[in-house]
Every structure is written in C-alpha cells, then in structure tokens.
Amino acid sequence: MSTTPESSSIGDVEKRATTRTHAMEKDLTDGSVTTPNAEYERYLELHHQFEGPARAKLIRKLDWRLLPTLSFLYLMCSLDKSNAGNAKLFGFLEDVGMTSTQFNLALMYLFFTYGLCEPISNIALRRLGPKIWFPVIVCAWGLITTMTCLVTSYGSYIAIRLVLGLSEAGLYPGSYFILSMWYTPKELATRMAIFYGANTAAGAFGGVIAYGVGNLDGVNGWRAWKWLFLIEGVITIFAGLVCFVLLPHFPHQYTAEKKSKWLLPDELEYAQLRVKYCNGPNAPTYEFRWSDVAAAAKDRKTYLMMMLFWWGGSVPTYSLSYTLPTMVKNLGYSAVKAQALTTPPYIFATCVCVFVGWMSDRYQKRYFSIMACYALGLIGIIILWISVHHPDLAGVSYFAIFLAAAGYSAQAPIVGAWTAVNVPNPSKRAAAIGLLMLFGSVGGGSIGSNIYIASEAPYYPLGFGFSVGATVLGAMIPATVHWWLIRRENARRDRVSQEEVLEQYTPAQLGEMGEDSPLFRFTL
C-alpha cells in the first residue's frame, strides 16, 4: 500500500495552485520575502523536510493504518447488504414464506433508510469524528445482521432491512470523507479504489463464505441461511469493537492534549498541513458551519455527480450483486457451485478497480477514467444480453460477467475522488458526498434490486435494457456535461490575471470561497 513519493520540488506539489502560489513559493525558496501566513510557511518547511524517503514512510503509515481498517469494514458492510442473494439460494424465501416479488421489495426498502441517512451520518461524522461515530454504527449493523437469522415472516424481514439501512448508511460516504481528510488529490483515487475494492472483494468472499456455509445446512437444526447471517453478523460486531483501537481521529482533531500514538509530532503536523494547503496558501476553514452544508445542497456539481453515482454506479452494481448467483446458476451450474463461480469475476473487478484508481491519480484524468469504466461495463452487459439467448455460449456469458463487474465497480472510487478534490471545504465536501450518495442509494439501490425479475430469467430483457440505458443516458452524458462545464470554467479563470484577483480579494476571502475562488482550478 505504499506509494511513489511526491516530487521533491515545491512547484510539482502545488501543480493545481495558481501562478501566484508558484511565485510565492519561489520567493520563499530564494529567501527574498516572508509569507504573511505563518502556518503555510511551516507547511513549506515541512514539505522540504519530508522529501523522498521520509514522505514515503509517512504515506505508508497512513496506508497501513487507514486502508486495512476501512476496507475490512466496507467488506463486512457489503456482505451484510448483499448476502440476501446468497441466502435466497439456501431456501430463505421458502422458510420465511416470501415470494420473489416480496423479496425484491424488501431489498428495495433498505435503500430508503440507507440513502436518507447518508448525509445525516456524514454530518455527524464531521462533528464527532471517526473514532466515535464509526464503532457505534458498525456494532449496530453487526447486531442487526445477527438478528436476521431470527426472521420468520415478510414483515419482520422488512423491519430488519429498514434498520440495517439506517445503521449502515454512514460507512461508505464516511470512509470517502475520512480518506479525503488524510490524502492529497494526487493520492486520493488510488486509496479510494483500494477501499472500494473491498466492495468487489465482498462478492468474492461472499461466494466463498456461502459455499462453506452451504455445508452447514441442517447442523443443529438450522438452515444454511441462518448460519450465514449469524456468522457474518458476529464478525461485524467484532470489527466494530476493534475500530475503537485502530481507527484514528481526523488530522485536525489531534491537539497538544490529544496526541497521536502512531505518528511522530512532525509527521502529524505535516499530515495536517499537506492536505489543508494542497491547493495553495489560501486554505479553507475547518470550522463546521451549517451554511457549508446548505452550499453543497445548492451546488450544481453535487447533482451532476449524483447522476454518475446513481445511474452509472448504483443501478448496475446493485442489480449485478443481487442477481449474479442466480445468473451463474442459470448457466447450468448447481446452487453451491454457482456461489463459488461468483468469486473470480469479483477478484478480477477488484484488480481493475485498483489499477484504474492508480491511473487516475497518476495522470489526473478523472473524466476519461470514468468513461473508460462505463464503456467496459457497457460492453460486458451487451455481450451478456446477447449470449444468454444461446445456451451453448455459457463461457462467453461468464466472460461478459467479468467485464460488467469490473467496469461498473471501477467507476465508483473515481466518482468519489472527482467530487472530493473539487470541493476543498471539509464541511461542504462531507455534505456533498453524503447528498450525492443519498439519491444514488435510494434511487440506484431500489431500482437495481428490482430490474432483474425472476420471471424473466434467464434473458432478463428489462434488466439488461435498463442497465444499458442508465449507463448511457444517466451517467455518460451527465459526466460529459460536468467535464465540459468545469473545463470551460477553468478556461475562463485562466483569462483573469492574478493581479486583478489580488486587488479584488484578500487571502482570507479567497480561502473562504473554496472552489469558487478565481485562483482555484478544477481537476478534469
């Protein structure tokens, strides 16, 4: 989880800053002037100090502390949401007395509480910090997952799913926000991809766990689906308790009284300042304000990115995760073998997800990375749509599942990174991530869990057709519109001289403006 050290030159570190920033840095290096911002001057000093191996060591510390913890939590979150598809193959519907339609509706209901609570949870995370908020929500959903093994009716299953959505809501958007508080824009997509890889890995582990749990059917008089919920729930509760120890505070929450035990004093100070001043000397405020939450709700960027997350991410991803075991079974495999065969596509998707995230960081091309992912997923869905009509092409169908799983999974961390790097104010960023996921989760999850109808198996005309339309009309077109608008805005700001900007605004005002500052440049 180590990364290539940032360039040792100050100018390279501040590539996204303005000409004014570069000039200030050059003057500071020459010793000809002194910046009025003492904290920024301290950042420049620490940046020189942490050149080369020292910076690589710091980033390794961040990686090994944050990524395994958050990734494992997301793995369990994904398992606890999607294990319903595995339980279905183990007789869950028959034992509880549900029809396939009722089952799909119950899956859909989760996303109402899940989506509605995402922005609320992110605001709570911003106020309380991860070390308090995350252990609470993780232990809560672990307990609820465990209780699912006691479900005896359709009504009780609906209640479980609603409460599960409420408790799980904060993990996904909260983790994106936590990563954005520790990593610079040039490092963020890779880390988000590694984190999100846990979601695709959940499909792999889910298949493996379900394969093993399938052999427990009848042990102590319990059906396999009961064991599935019990085992995954207990593991989640344990993970929540471990969070109290392993998950750190936000960087700015560490003070002289609240010291870090895993970072040296200089490392902690640099970790705090390098993200704060990644866009130059005019840093945003770290004070929580409700006005920043309102600003996120009014921002056009929030809703365009929501379209990407909704139609290009949630709809195809959730529909695939819920239907994949059944889809593989329809290729002619037994239920238990179908569970095992869902693993390789998700392993491949995880590798592609991390690779695309790394490429996105390396070349800072968020739009083109996202469009490549959509194209890959679209190709997979179209091939699968055609090949399922030909039973002798089961191998082609299985290959298409690899492409679809990889494409639709790999886009998600880039969407998160593209949102985060273009919203420098932490409070507005937390709200923006939560809001875009609100609509994405409610709309995407509720639709995605219902478009692959059991009565239409194995051809699923509605499911495949909807996935193709959602990708093109709902994601690729909004992504292009968003890219064109911010590219046009960057060009407009490039035509304004820095002298004109400095005459009109003070440094404090420029920092207060965030991405609306004439000196800020959007990442494309």
Least confident window among 236-245, 313-322, 485-494: 313-322
Q: Is the pLDDT of residue 426 over 80?
A: yes
The number of CA neighbours under 13 Å toward the Cβ of 1 is 20
Answer whether 191's CB lies under 8 Å from 67's CB.
Answer: yes
> Contact 228/213 with Cβ under 8 angstroms?
yes
Alpha carbons 21 and 411: distance in angstroms, whole number: 32
**Hey, what are 265's tokens?**
């004093």
Kind and range of the H or E element at 300? helix 300-307
As to burial, measured by CB atoms within 10 angstroms (0-12 exposed, 13-18 middle, 19+ buried), residue 94 is: exposed
Q: Are 133 and 174 contacting, i.e. CB atoms less than 8 angstroms apart? A: yes
> 3-class SS at 125?
helix
Provide the whole-model pTM.
0.84
User: What is the pLDDT confidence band of residue 342, given thresholds at 50, 70 and 90?
Assistant: confident
Residue 61 CB-density burial (10 A; 0-12 exposed, 13-18 middle, 19+ buried): middle
Q: For residues 450 and 444, what is the distance between their CA atoms, to the nearest angstrom?
A: 10
The more confidently predicted of residues 449 and 288 is 288
**pLDDT band at residue 36 using 50, 70 and 90 as cut-offs:** low
Question: Are the C-beta atoms of residues 287 and 517 closer than 8 Å to each other?
Answer: no
For residue 518, cis peptide bond before it (omega within 30 degrees of 0): no
- What's the N-to-C CA distance of the chain in angstroms? 25
Q: What is the pLDDT of residue 308?
A: 92
Predicted local distance difference test score (pLDDT) of residue 355: 95
502 φψ region: left (φ > 0), alpha (ψ -120 to 50), beta (else): alpha
Average pLDDT over residues 18-45: 57
Q: Average pLDDT, stretch 224-253?
A: 90
Q: What is the CA radius of gyration of the chain?
A: 24
Q: Are 304 and 482 in contact (CB under 8 A)?
A: yes
Tell me the average pLDDT across 286-294: 90
Which single residue is written with the structure tokens 């995605």? Answer: 448
Helix 315-329 × helix 185-213 angle, to 10°: 30
Percent of the chain with pLDDT over 70: 88
Contact 188, 179 (CB under 8 A): yes
Give residue 204's pLDDT band: very low, low, confident or very high (50, 70, 90). Answer: low
Question: Quick one: pLDDT at residue 2?
Answer: 40
50: pLDDT confidence band, cut at 50, 70 and 90? very high
> In the prediction, which pLDDT does 335 show?
61
Q: What is the pLDDT of residue 200?
A: 66
Rounded to an integer, what distance in angstroms lies between the CA atom of residue 205 and that of residue 130?
26
In angstroms, the CA 280 to CA 309 distance is 29
Buried b / exposed e over 390-413, threshold 16 CB at 10 Å, is eeebbeebbebbbbbbbbbbbbbb
pLDDT in tens, 299-331: 999 999 999 988 988 888 878 766 776 777 777
Q: Which two tokens stand for residue 319?
A: 């529909």
What's the pLDDT band for 522 if we cut at 50, 70, 90? very high
What's domain 47-276+291-513's superfamily in CATH? MFS general substrate transporter like domains (1.20.1250.20)
Mean pLDDT score of the chain? 85
By C-alpha distance, which of 159, 76, 177, 145 is closest to 112? 159
Sorted by where each begins, the domain ranges of the chain are 47-276+291-513
- Of 513, 523, 440, which is closest to residue 483 (Cα–Cα)? 523
State the pLDDT at residue 258: 82
Q: Is the pLDDT of residue 343 over 80?
A: no
Indicate the SS3 state at residue 453.
coil
Whether 229 and 145 have beta carbons less than 8 Å apart is answered as yes
Q: Higher-confidence residue: 296 or 20?
A: 296
Question: pLDDT band for position 77 (50/70/90)?
Answer: confident
